[in-house]
A and B are shown apart, each in its own frame.
Chain A
Amino acid sequence: MGKVKFLQGNHACVEGAVAAGARFYAGYPITPSSEVAQAASDKLPPLGGYYVQMEDEIASMAAIVGSSLSGLKSFTATSGPGLSLMQENLGMAIMGEVPCVIIDVARGGPSTGLATKQAQGDVMQTRWGTHGDHTIIVVTPASVQECFDLTVRAFNLSEKYRTPVIVLTDKTIGHLREKVDVRDPSEIEIIDRKRPTCPPGDYKPYRADADGIPPLAAYGDKHLLRINSSMHGEEGFINQSPQNATALSKRLYDKIENNVADIGRIKTFQTEDAEIVIISFGISARSAFRSAALARQAGIKAGAIQLQTLWPFPRPQVQEALGNSCRRLLVAEMNMGQLALEVERVFTDMEVYRVNKWSGEDLLPREILDRLKEVSE
């Protein structure tokens, strides 16, 4: 049976990771994510797991890739500046197809910017931070319960699609304490990576099944693993032929983008008859839901959508949620307009408005309400 606790978002992420089966953490402390490291250093060793404090975020990301390949579900946590350093080996994990989870507790940037303050400026860093054509899965909790639930989900997606997954929270959610049901592993769905079933001699670490995902052996198995961050063929040797480069990049892209129906998830509030719908994520979505309720009292037919999956953008889910009466969208986020770019790109037939804040403070319900009133006139 699970336990009801009163926890910080950062702690709930660790509880979620442990419930999902994670037994390895490597990281470098950074505000406002350090409580994730602290909780991991406390929780993992008694379970026979490992907490390793690395010399920087580059090494942290590398270490969780290595440990995952040795067969332990692995994670790290950081904030914007640390995620910038992790981008090199995040790309490695995408190219090498290594499951692992990165928790990014966002803060104000760029650079050392507003180190102790709130922001949602990592929307595009999580999507496009590492170089080259690639795609990535990012989940975005808006409550402490979701920190637990979506970290479990992040591990599941990571294992299922053999790819790194980012859990993007922010300073407010990371430090927010709420009631959370820390579910027992027996009560939740836990997905483990596909393992090879062929004889060891036939194993090719990058030969994909029909679903586009290759089974993954572990170091120490009789199935020899050849992991490669360079453009490679099925056996893991470098292969730079134009045909191979075209096919491999496409497979890595398709295995995620073709499964948005499975990966995408949203939470809706009064969208059925809404004429204007707020699209938001993370803590701003809490403000959005509240402001939609206040707007209804003021006679505005408003609804709200929380993106629980930020990337790939959950287009089919959002499209389905928007009723026939919706003609306007309001994108609420704590940055100068990053998610808005994607919403504008996807919903060309709608009027897309923005409400932004980048002062280091949370976007408040009444601020979204004011903007709703403004665009509803």
Chain B
Amino acid sequence: MKENWQVVLAGEGGQGLVVAGILLGEAAVMDGKNAAQTASYGIASRGGLTQSEVVISDGDIAYPAVEDPDIVLALSRGALDKYYGKVSEECIIIYDSSLIPGDFKGKRVFGLPLSDKVEGLKKEKGLRVALNVLSLGALSGRTGVVSLNALEEAIKKQFKRGFETNRESLKAGFDMARSSCYFCSQ
């Protein structure tokens, strides 16, 4: 298992990526690791390229921002373009294939229909599912960078209400990614 993960969560403003980064960092701390989260976004709170970075480590974190990403979650075309083909081949890229059509090749590039799943759950169960939480589940399922349990705990702490819905979203994302899990296939 890697000791040091540099994770980028990228997409558009309003997708809840900053909160996702906080949840990911919080979960890593609950897993007993060190974590550092930074965010960069434009002057407005909605729209535009937004990115949240999380460094997770078993040891001390010297530099707290991402230098060379190990994991990228891309939730918009712009976000994927920023990283696809520009990071090391070892970097895992998970992108939302329902939002970003096209054929993106790479041994660690995975397209998952995250938004379709969100819409499906809304129709099927009438749940107010959030893309950011579902995507975190997928990230955990695909990479194992944090445990599902820790993510659940982090969500419980962050959101006073709607825990059950968020738990289900998380699990749905996790299960979806699990079918082609990076670690499971190692």
Contacts and interface: CB of A to CB of B under 8 A. Distances in A.
B129 to A, nearest CB: 24
Interface in A106-123: 116
Contact of B63 (A175, A179, A287): A287
B67 A365 contact: yes
Given A6-B26, A116-B43, A179-B29, A286 B34 contact: no
A176 B64 CA distance: 8
Contacts of B43: 116
B151 interface: no
B63 A6 contact: no
A362 interface: yes
Interface string A275-317: 0000000010011011001000000000000000000000000
Nearest to B39: A175
Interface string B117-130: 00000000000000
Nearest to B22: A177
B134 to A, nearest CB: 22
Given A179-B34, A366-B67, A6 B62 contact: no
B162 to A, nearest CB: 21
Given A177-B22, A178-B64, A4 B29 contact: yes
Classify chain A: how many residues form its interface, as a range. Answer: 20 to 34
Interface string A168-199: 00001001111100000000000000000000
Contacts of B25: 6, 177-178
Interface in B41-60: 43
A266 interface: no
Contacts of B26: 6
Interface of A: 4, 6, 116, 143, 172, 175-179, 283, 286-287, 289-290, 293, 362, 364-366
Given A6-B37, A177-B35, A286-B63, 11 more contacts: A4-B29, A6-B26, A6-B29, A6-B35, A176-B38, A176-B64, A177-B37, A179-B29, A179-B34, A283-B64, A290-B62
